[in-house]
Amino acid sequence: MLRLPPFDFRAPRRLAEAAAILAGEGDGARVVAGGTDLWPNMKRRHQHATTVVSLMGIPELAAVDDGGGELRLGATATLAQVAASDAVRRRYPALACAVRSISSPPLRNMGTLGGNLCLDTRCTYYNQTEPWRRAIDFCMKEAGTVCWVAPSSPRCWAHAASDAAPMLCALGARVLLRAHDGERVVPLEELYRDDGIDYLNKRREEILCAVLLPAEAAVEHCAGSFWKLRRRGAIDFAVVSAAAAAWFDAGGAVERLRLVLGAVASRPLRVVAAEELLAGRRLDEEAVAEAARLARKAATPMDNTDFQAQWRGLMVERYAAAALRQAAGLEPGIRPPHHPL
């Protein structure tokens, strides 16, 4: 039986109290929201904590606020709530699509948007039970010194597995972080580092409080799309995902576009070369094909999840093309994923 290790559990009702506990308890304290990532990780002894602080009792963190301009999604809104939210479905349908693709219905009733954005990076050699990992010796992401995926590599290549993150980065979302000593708002994109171990650009005690979606990324101004590949239509994590957000000028050419890939780097990966190539051009078949090739070049799929890395590289091209085609209003060219709106 896989039991959790012992820890102290705190469930504050106020954000300031949660921030104070995190500041006071030091390295041993960490937050939990839905627990759908933290509990499995603690059961497998990947992640450790002496004190776990639940955010679920703090009402102000759960609210979804739509003033018609910027949309504010509370960090502890569950994925089911985000996907069902009228504001999200109406104004940011591509985000609703990405969120609906996550895990399975019961997990979406539990998992939160904030937890999804802070999700641990994943790797076949890491997401295993402790005896399994001990048997081949721990890798660099834990107590060891070697990376089993790329033994001569000085870094860990565990991949960013969140599905909401690439979509929200493409839409230009920002996040509000708060600690006992102050708060800051940063572009979500800047929350991530391309490092499988040290994957978040934030201090341990900073709580992600809300996601802010700009009005300019709403569907009346911006065409968004999300495509995800996995073995089964539910439960499985993405092995490749592609999110696009495009703004067109009056003549129908691309004014601005963001293309962000998931599961092929230790962070959501922006394909800047493709974005630059497409700026000012019409998003036709030829432009899409060129941009998709650049996406494949930028991605570094490793042999650390389902399917062969080389094939996933090929799929990066297909899925990036599908996302771009859909943003351009063309036929996506591949079968729709199993999670229609």
Partner 1 sequence: MSEPRNVEPAAEASRVTATLRVNGEDHTVVFPVHHTLLEVLREGCGLTGTKHGCELGECGACAVLLDGRPVLSCLVLAAEAAGHEVETVEGLQEGNRLHPLQAAFADLGAAQCGYCTPGILMTAKALLAQNPEPTAEEIEEALAGNLCRCTGYRKIVQAVAWAAAILRGEEERPPEEAFLGSPLPEVRR
Ligand X SMILES: Cc1cc2nc3c(=O)[nH]c(=O)nc-3n(C[C@H](O)[C@H](O)[C@H](O)COP(=O)(O)OP(=O)(O)OC[C@H]3O[C@@H](n4cnc5c(N)ncnc54)[C@H](O)[C@@H]3O)c2cc1C
Residue 140 interacting partner from ligand X, partner 1, ligand SF4, none (CB closer than 5 to 8 Å by kind): ligand SF4
Residue 182, class by beta-carbon neighbours within 10 Å (0-12 exposed, 13-18 middle, 19+ buried)?
exposed
- Which residues, numbered 195-234, are part of the site for ligand SF4 (CB under 6 A)? 196
304 forms part of the interface with ligand SF4 (CB under 6 A): yes
Beta sheet of 223-229, edge-to-edge order? 223-229, 240-248, 254-262, 269-270
| Torsional sign, CA 74, 79, 85, 87 | positive
Residue 304 interacting partner from partner 1, ligand X, ligand SF4, none (CB closer than 5 to 8 Å by kind): ligand SF4
Stretch of 41-49, 103-111, 143-151, 212-220 lying at the interface with ligand SF4 (CB under 6 A): 143-151
Phi and psi at residue 27, in whole multiples of 5°? -55, -30
Closer residue to partner 1 (CB): 106 or 280 = 106
85 forms part of the interface with ligand X (CB under 6 A): no
Query: Structure tokens of 276?
Result: 């630059």
Q: Quote the CA–CA distance of 21 and 19 in Å, as a whole number.
A: 6
Closer residue to ligand SF4 (CB): 196 or 332 = 196
Measured CA distances, 219 to 87, 191, 216, 223, 237 (Å): 11, 25, 8, 6, 27
Q: Quote the CA–CA distance of 162 and 171 in Å, as a whole number.
A: 15
Residue 116 interacting partner from ligand SF4, ligand X, partner 1, none (CB closer than 5 to 8 Å by kind): ligand X
Minimum gap (Å) between residue 43 Cβ and partner 1: 6
Minimum gap (Å) between residue 225 Cβ and ligand X: 17
Phi and psi at residue 46, in whole multiples of 5°? -80, -45
- Say how far residue 70 (Cα) sits from the centre of its chain: 20
Stretch of 85-93, 97-105, 141-149, 161-169 lying at the interface with ligand SF4 (CB under 6 A): 141-149
- Which residues, numbered 262-321, are part of the site for ligand X (CB under 6 A)? none
Binding-site size, ligand SF4 (CB under 6 A): 14
The one among 52, 111, 125, 278 contacting ligand SF4 by CB under 6 A: 125
Q: What is the DSSP letter of 141?
A: T
Q: Quote the CA–CA distance of 236 and 258 in Å, as a whole number.
A: 26
Q: Quote the CA–CA distance of 154 and 147 in Å, as a whole number.
A: 8
The one among 19, 22, 33, 167 contacting ligand X by CB under 6 A: 33
Q: What one-letter code names the amino acid at 248?
A: F
162 forms part of the interface with ligand X (CB under 6 A): yes
- Which residues, numbered 94-113, are part of the site for ligand X (CB under 6 A)? 102-103, 107, 110-112
140 forms part of the interface with ligand SF4 (CB under 6 A): yes
Pick from 235, 32, 81, 263: nearest CA to 167: 263
Residue 33 interacting partner from ligand SF4, ligand X, partner 1, none (CB closer than 5 to 8 Å by kind): ligand X
Contact set with ligand X (CB under 6 A) = 30-38, 40, 55, 75, 79, 102-103, 107, 110-112, 114-116, 118-120, 161-163, 207-208, 235, 237
Residues that bind ligand SF4 (CB under 6 A): 123, 125-126, 139-141, 147-149, 156-158, 196, 304
